[in-house]
Amino acid sequence: MATLVILRHGESVANRDNIFTGWSDVPLTAKGRAQAWSAGNLVAETGIQFAALHTSMLQRAIVTSHIILEAIDQLYLPEYKSWRLNERHYGALRGKNKAAVQEVVGVAQVKIWRRSFETVPPLLDHVTQDRRYDQFGPHVEPLGESLEMAYHRLMPYWEDEIAPRLLAGDNQLVVAHGSTLRALIKYLDHVADADISQVEVANGEPIRYDFDDRLNVLRKTVL
């Protein structure tokens, strides 16, 4: 009986420059802000009244979410931010140009790193955890993650914070990242491990899920 809307942030400067990003905290471009505003208008047309917003601890998702809330005139909503909604950590690929890496290792290897479920990207040899994560423990920031690893750190957030609110009949808005949303779609749409490589989530494209009162998906709509 409740509705979930999920949305990937608008274009970031790293998206624009074709850079592996992960947990790097990069800003939106002007185009990204415009995408967020357009997405907000699409959500506004649905007339959905949300009970809460969930986003990551990265500014590209947070700023997108605030633009959406302004567009739908629901800036008063409670906002929950979690590292569990952060983008999949790209390890040692972080900061590198995707096309340049492709030149070195080939198109097939880059596709596996970007789209396979279980392949772990080259790991960092050490991590200097950003202080924003220290409140959750000393080893929150990973050395790198496969989509599978990101899936497993996302699911407790779904189970503890999103699903119970939907089950209570409260509509929820989630503004996050390509990989965490692919992980959530994998769960909601029962996508097999081998098929998740076909799933893409575009910047600023809201996806609506309507659930029955047992949290079965009744309808999925790309707005």
Annotated binding site for substrate: 8-15, 21-22, 60, 87-90, 98, 114-115
Q: How far is the CB of 96 from ligand 3PG (least distance, A)?
A: 10
C-beta of residue 209 within 8 angstroms of C-beta of residue 217:
yes
Per-residue interface string for the shown chain with ligand 3PG, residues 41-70, x marking contact by CB under 6 A? ------------------------------
Binding region for ligand 3PG (CB under 6 A) out of 18-26, 51-59, 72-80, 130-138: 18-26
C-beta of residue 69 within 8 angstroms of C-beta of residue 36:
no
Q: How far is the CB of 117 from ligand 3PG (least distance, A)?
A: 12
Distance CA 49, CA 58 (A): 25
| Residue of closest CB approach to ligand 3PG | 21
Candidates 177, 183, 188, 209; binder of ligand 3PG (CB under 6 A) is 177
Residue 186 within binding range of ligand 3PG, rule CB under 6 A: no
Q: How far is the CB of 190 from ligand 3PG (least distance, A)?
A: 21
Within 10 Å of residue 64's Cβ, how many Cβ atoms?
Answer: 29
Candidates 3, 5, 21, 48; binder of ligand 3PG (CB under 6 A) is 21
Candidates 50, 83, 90, 211; binder of ligand 3PG (CB under 6 A) is 90
Using DSSP's 3-state secondary structure scheme, residue 196 falls into helix
9 catalytically annotated: yes
Residue 145 within binding range of ligand 3PG, rule CB under 6 A: no
C-beta of residue 38 within 8 angstroms of C-beta of residue 55:
no
Distance CA 156, CA 151 (A): 9
103 catalytically annotated: no
Distance CA 107, CA 98 (A): 10
Residue 178 within binding range of ligand 3PG, rule CB under 6 A: yes
In sign, the C-alpha dihedral spanning 188, 192, 193, 195 is negative
Within 10 Å of residue 72's Cβ, how many Cβ atoms?
Answer: 23
